[in-house]
Structure 1
Amino acid sequence: MIIGKNTPFSINVGSIELAIIIFALLLVAGVCFMLLYLLFVNFQEHRKSLQKEYIEQFISTIVFWEGGEIAIPAKVSKMLRYSYFRQFITDELLRAKRDLSGITGDNLRHLYEQLALNEDSVDKLNSFLWHYKVQGIHELAIMEQGTELEQIHLLTTDRNEFVRKEAQIAVVKLSGFEGLRFLDAIPYSLSNWQQINLIAQLSGVPAMNFTGIEKWLQSSNESVVVFALKLSGMYQRLELRQTVAQCLVHPSMQVRMEAVKCFQHIYDETTAALLIQKYHQGNKQYQLTSLHVLFAIGGTTDVPFLLSQFKAEDHSIKLAAARILAKYHGFSLLEAFVNSGLTNNRRPFCEWLSPKESQTHSDVYPWYDIIQQIKSEQTT
């Protein structure tokens, strides 16, 4: 079959050439567009880089500004029209403010207010989006915007965990111990990490007229009680010993353990006897915590109790009791006790034990290891 030029299968050579030319032109146009776009992007990035460098230099000069309203260069004012640069300037001020205080820190705060960047932060605070709220709270706290304290305080019990935590840290940063008043009726638990963050914000703040711990120690919120016990110990609130002692019978084991730790900082001559009295009301970790505190606060009337702990099944309890005996009653007494058990030879101090009890310590293990451990600790 011969295909003619007028048959359905005939190919128009001119149409093919035209399609190829159009495709080539489109390809060249696409490549040119990409090159122009990349040049534009690079130009913009370079421009932004120069502007950022200029802003950084401007902020560095503000640190040493002396007196009056800060002179804002026209170039900076022009940049402030764009939200991108407003946020960049805010971020730079935040970064510098974290490391500076006193007059230099005040200069940065004044600049932040003079450029009305605080209004941007307030807008974020009022946003319906939680991550904007968190960002706004953080900025206002770092830049010491106490005028927004009450509004931030309302967010300390917010349903959103991230908003709530940031607001709690912010109110403490802005108003010190007074900011902890959200603990009076907080419906949510304070995580251990959040407690650490709050304590970090309080470091360096003088605890003058610090009230409220008494109420928190009796809170129905277990985490609040734990946090109050930490504060009681940190600030050595000796007048709270009786209230802390009541926490030793709290339903929560965590609260009881924290109360024991607190007594390491607010103890008196009756504390050792109290801890021994409540010793068997807790688990192994509670008992070890009690022994560690007894090791710290000492006492000379605990020998019968310490010797009774040598019969504990757990070797860590034996070791903790042995440390106390060696520290406050002499290493020779500990070694004599072990030797008397090993040789079944009664020594004067063994009046605390019956012959049967002395016999129960006749195994070499773990006493040899315990003695070597304590020896090494005393020589280091």
Structure 2
Amino acid sequence: MNENVYILENLKQSSPIIQLAWCLSGIFFVIITMLIMYLKYLRNHLRENEKIETKYQEEYETHLITYLYAGNDDDTLSLEQQSIINELKTCIVDPFKRKIVVSTLLKLRNEISGEIAESIDKLYIELGLLSYSLAKLRNKKWDIIAIGIRELTQFKVKGVHKVVMNNINHPKKEVRKEMQLYLIHLFSFKGLNFLNVLETSLSEWDQIQLLEVLQVANNTEIADIRPWLKSSNDSVVIFSLKLAKVYNQFEAKEELIELLDSKSENVRVNTIAALSHLNIIEAKNILKTNFAERSHEEQIAFLKMMENVYESSDKAFLLEHMQHKNFEIKLLVMEILKNINFEEYPFYESEFQKSLIA
């Protein structure tokens, strides 16, 4: 006791800075102690939740598997199936239990295919879970809207596409991406109709994802890309050019050639790449006539195109640009000249070397 009194007396007689330091140390000690206690409580709470969630998941999984294999031969609901539906309907009223039911349905949905997978999709609607997903689309929080659209995609709900389309120009790109994937997953090329009214930009990553989904769908009925090539949205045009390359849309030749005069350099460069892939020779003469007026990126794209479609008559044009200021363009010109006339190439190479020294 005397020691404590002694310490307090010394503290009172010490400078204000030391007193402040001791006070702050005491406050921090109390805060840290409280945080440690809260973290222990939180950890225990999460562990309890995990145990409860695992218990419900096992229970619901058993119910769902029983449901899938307890049907009548005439595809009508058996008494056992109806009993399971009634029990699960009472469970999904609780948001916590509803979340577990949905996750369990998705787990089974991803593990099976065919008619049984379709039974899960029907059960999703039969349980009334569709109304909860649609309610998420009316939420003010963008992440909830995105989750709602994803659920509709996962359970292949086609009948609500007009409601989903309301988010086509949502300010959050995450919501727009989910909306786009919903349409492509469920409607394949027909789902691309959203490009007609898209005002926001399609990012490079979005375009890659959409192309991957389309290729997985392996749909032989290809959409007419020509209206999208005339879009005022440059990202839609660039995506359409990628479609032209992947699906060899030679019938869009006239629209592609028109895009060589687009205001966007990015569009023009991608157009040249598409024309090259489709081997549209008519574009070569157009690009040769105004080669000098085009940007370096366009010139490089055109010369890469010429590597596949060169003719001996192109030699004069290439010789004009052998001394080009851009080194990459020089190399491309030299490579094409080598392919056109290998015997004369040493002379061209000598001239090229002199230009480098100069």
Tell me, yes or no, if structure 1 residue 143 matches structure 2 residue 132: no
1:18 alignment counterpart: none
Instruction: Give matches, 1:42-121, under 5 Å.
Output: 42-56=47-61, 68=75, 69=77, 71=81, 72=84, 79-94=91-106, 97=109, 101-121=113-133
Counterpart residue identity of residue 133, structure 1:
I
User: Which has the larger helix fraction?
Assistant: 2
For 1:256, what is the secondary structure of its paired residue? helix
2:188 alignment counterpart: 176
Quick one: distance in 2 between partners of 1:103 and 1:285? Answer: 52
How many residues are treated as equivalent by the alignment? Answer: 311
Tell me, yes or no, if structure 1 residue 201 matches structure 2 residue 216: no
Counterpart residue identity of residue 219, structure 2:
P
Quick one: distance in 2 between partners of 1:102 and 1:260? Answer: 43
Counterpart residue identity of residue 312, structure 1:
H
For 1:172, what is the secondary structure of its paired residue? helix
Distance 1:158-1:276 versus aligned 2 partners, 3 A rule: same
Q: Indicate if the aligned counterparts of 2:68 and 2:116 stay in contact, CA closer than 8 A.
A: yes
Q: Deviations over 1:201-222 (max 9, x none)?
A: 32234252623x2222222222
Q: Which runs of 5+ in 2 are unaligned?
A: 1-38
Note the C-alpha offset of 1:57: 6.0
Note the C-alpha offset of 1:244: 0.8
Q: Indicate if the aligned counterparts of 2:201 and 2:235 stay in contact, CA closer than 8 A.
A: yes
TM-score, with length taken from structure 1: 0.69
Q: Which runs of 5+ in 1 are unaligned?
A: 1-33, 342-359, 367-380
Quick one: distance in 2 between partners of 1:63 and 1:299? Answer: 66
Counterpart residue identity of residue 335, structure 2:
R
Distance 1:151-1:47 versus aligned 2 partners, 3 A rule: closer
Match of 1:239 among 227, 235, 251: 251
Q: Which has the larger radius of gyration?
A: 1
1:215 alignment counterpart: 227
Quick one: distance in 1 between partners of 2:162 and 2:142? Answer: 18
2:340 alignment counterpart: 329
For 1:223, what is the secondary structure of its paired residue? helix
Note the C-alpha offset of 1:316: 1.5
TM-score, with length taken from structure 2: 0.73
Quick one: distance in 1 between partners of 2:268 and 2:69? Answer: 52
Deviating beyond 6 angstroms after TM superposition, the runs of 4 or more aligned structure 1 residues are 34-41, 60-67
Note the C-alpha offset of 1:362: 4.7
Q: Indicate if the aligned counterparts of 2:253 and 2:280 stay in contact, CA closer than 8 A.
A: no
Note the C-alpha offset of 1:318: 1.9
1:158 alignment counterpart: 170
Counterpart residue identity of residue 192, structure 1:
E
Tell me, yes or no, if structure 1 residue 361 matches structure 2 residue 352: yes
1:275 alignment counterpart: 287
**Identity between Structure 1 and Structure 2 (%):** 24
